[in-house]
Chains A and B, each alone.
Chain A
């Protein structure tokens, strides 16, 4: 039984790995196409039909480019930076329940690699480790622009992680669990958290943008000020890893938003269709991915619409607006739950 368990997990890990990378690769394609759509352009359309092979071409290009490591850089850390960023990005997917359990020969196989009871906490922990990649990479480049970029990135991540953490506490208060699977299961039947925690959702969404270093929070790499920000000195696949990891972050953030606030694989009336459990599971996966893709589109939509903040405005938004709002949200949720308990509703 143990061997089956391991085989299933290994298969899941491999599939997740592949899916994450594919999603990230095609996010780059989608980004260009969405940008082109929003900007009255055509976007990539040379490589393959509709430019569908563009991510492959980009990958090949990245590998073929000359590897440049500046003489003045700290070489070991210079290489470590993008590696940490990529690894932490890939680690995040394990706690996300990708769909309902699949039943084979009477045994339930969950479509989740690790249902740990501190799933959400794990996610925050791993994501915040990612900032080390940016910080070390930017610092080891020994370039002033990189340093400025990485300082911006680290202060931004630290301040927005606080608000992000505060925004989900409201949910934790009434789900009583940090496991993402529990949170998803409690939302079944359209009891989506977004209806109960709209403020928490908005704070979380804003912070997710900041965590992904996406516009309007892309200060760490804003090309018009800091040339390339923390990855100014990087070339070849190391640059690719940075860029790629960012898209993975976006994918995972969308998945977390879908799971924590939008019921994960839940869909209205899906329970009433009378599907067999396995079909139900597959439909669930499709539903979850539809939600994820919607949020990825939303990320892109925002990026190509609004300008970015200035550094001090970003800090002000984080510390003076989002964190007080997050605290307020906790206060209101806590007060409501206490009242409910007291009156025995």
Chain B
């Protein structure tokens, strides 16, 4: 009887989400890192088994802000899914928006014009810059240097001002439409973009010089949270975190979408895949993004800012009020009562964190039959326990922020 009881308790312990193992643990300290901890940028829990300051084992728990986006998206007309993608990686929501638009366009078989592509490239590269800026400056904050963060935050503000000029929103942008952009870039947009590009190098170099060659920062991040290229590929890493290990995989270069083949840019790679390499790779990518934006500005083609997708692209307001067909289409689009072809598409874009993929199965009708977001953060976070085992508590914090795990994208 007694034996049975102990057995039962053991099973109970085994099923609890935070138990680590059945060994006696008197020698170790269990530390709850999260769900609400200043260093976890977002909400996720890590139960660390610690020997003093050293991490012996870690058990991550996710799902604190799981909002079932994939399921919600399956019950919504396509154009309403854009707002859900905003809330995945909210540091670079335009990339998510564009990725979704392109997925639907792929399903519909719509070919966008160069003008639309270039406009999208500008917005997406701005989003990438803001994402990388936040990640790198927060890495600085986690090492204790707040000042660099405030410098680049001004830059991010400028980027958000530019978004605002395009779509009226700042963080969750819902930018662009299926079939193009909602309106052409205004002269004020170009002016703001020019101002941003003009002042960018000065501020960014200041930030760069504050951290990159700083001895303490170097010591803190070098050989911390490193991962080999092989392990990274096995986990399915993409984006800057994979490139930091030395693999030059970039969706923009490998599988160009939105006319990325027209642009000259380099894909920076690191060597060891540690925090410092990730930092450097992101910094260099920011510079490359600036280069891409400059090229797009220079070569911006003339033409319309949208292509003809009557199923999804709203007719002009003027026509809606005066023409019956336009009014009907407007009504159909807004109510989401448009049909799409039966099919199965996968489209991926190079998001702020890596390959952001949309797998869409359509059985015709107004909404997706099955929809899956390939969220890079979800994949990085699986590797997190392995990355921090055997390191110090401080390293664990840095590893988390340099992986740029964003709770919204992790939990979807």
Q: Quick check: A148 and B393 within 8 Å, CB to CB?
A: yes
Residue pair B216, A306 in contact (C-beta under 8 Å): yes
| A307 and B143 contact, CB distance less than 8 A | yes
Could you give, for residues 310-332 of chain A, a 1 whenever the CB lies within 8 Å of some chain B CB and a 0 otherwise?
A: 11110000000000000000000
Q: Nearest Cβ distance between residue A50 and chain B, in whole angstroms? A: 20
Give complex CA distance A307, B141 in Å: 8
Instruction: List residues of chain B with CB under 8 Å of any chain A CB.
Output: 29, 31-32, 37-39, 53, 140-147, 150-151, 154, 210-211, 214, 216-217, 219-220, 392-395, 397
Do B151 and A40 touch (CB < 8 A)? yes
Chain B residue contacts of A35, Cβ below 8 A: 146-147
CB <8 Å contact, B53 and A224? no
Closest Cβ of chain B to A147, distance in Å, is 9
A216 at interface by CB-CB < 8 Å = yes
A: interface residue count bin:
20 to 34
Pairs across A and B, CB under 8 Å, 23 listed: A40-B154, A41-B150, A144-B31, A145-B31, A148-B53, A148-B393, A216-B216, A224-B144, A224-B397, A225-B39, A227-B37, A227-B38, A306-B144, A307-B211, A307-B216, A308-B143, A308-B216, A309-B216, A309-B219, A310-B220, A310-B394, A311-B53, A312-B53
Contact between chains at A215 and B144 (CB < 8 Å): yes
> When the two chains form the complex, which single residue of B37, B53, B151, B220 contacts A39, counting CB atoms closer than 8 Å?
B151
Digitize A30-62: 1 where CB-to-B-CB distance is under 8 Å, 0 elsewhere: 000001001111000000000000000000000
Decide if B39 touches A38 in the complex (CB within 8 Å).
no
Assess whether A223 is interfacial by the CB under 8 Å rule: yes
Q: Which residues of B contact A218 (CB under 8 A)?
A: 144
Among B150, B151, B394, the one with the most A-chain Cβ atoms within 10 Å of its Cβ is B394
Contacts of B143 in A (CB 8 A): 307-308
Q: Is A80 an interface residue (CB 8 A)?
A: no
Check A305–B144 contact: CB distance below 8 A. no
B379 to nearest A CB, angstroms? Answer: 24
Checking B38, B147, B217, B219 against A224 with a beta-carbon cut-off of 8 angstroms, the contacting residue is: B38
Measured CB to CB, the residues of A under 8 A from B are: 35, 38-41, 144-145, 148, 215-216, 218, 222-225, 227, 304-313
Determine the distance from Cα of A148 to Cα of B393 in the docked complex, in whole angstroms: 10
Q: How far is the CB of B281 from chain A (nearest CB, A)?
A: 19
Across the interface, A307 reaches (CB within 8 A) one of B140, B150, B392, B393, namely B140
Q: Are B145 and A305 in contact (CB under 8 A)?
A: yes
How far, in whole Å, are A145 and B393 apart by their CA atoms in the complex? 11
A216 and B146 alpha carbons, distance in the complex (Å): 12
Given A227-B38, A311-B392, A312-B392, is A222 in contact with B210 using a C-beta cutoff of 8 Å?
no
Chain A residue numbers with a CB within 8 Å of B397 are 224-225
Pick the contact of A305: B38, B53, B210, B220 (CB < 8 A).
B210
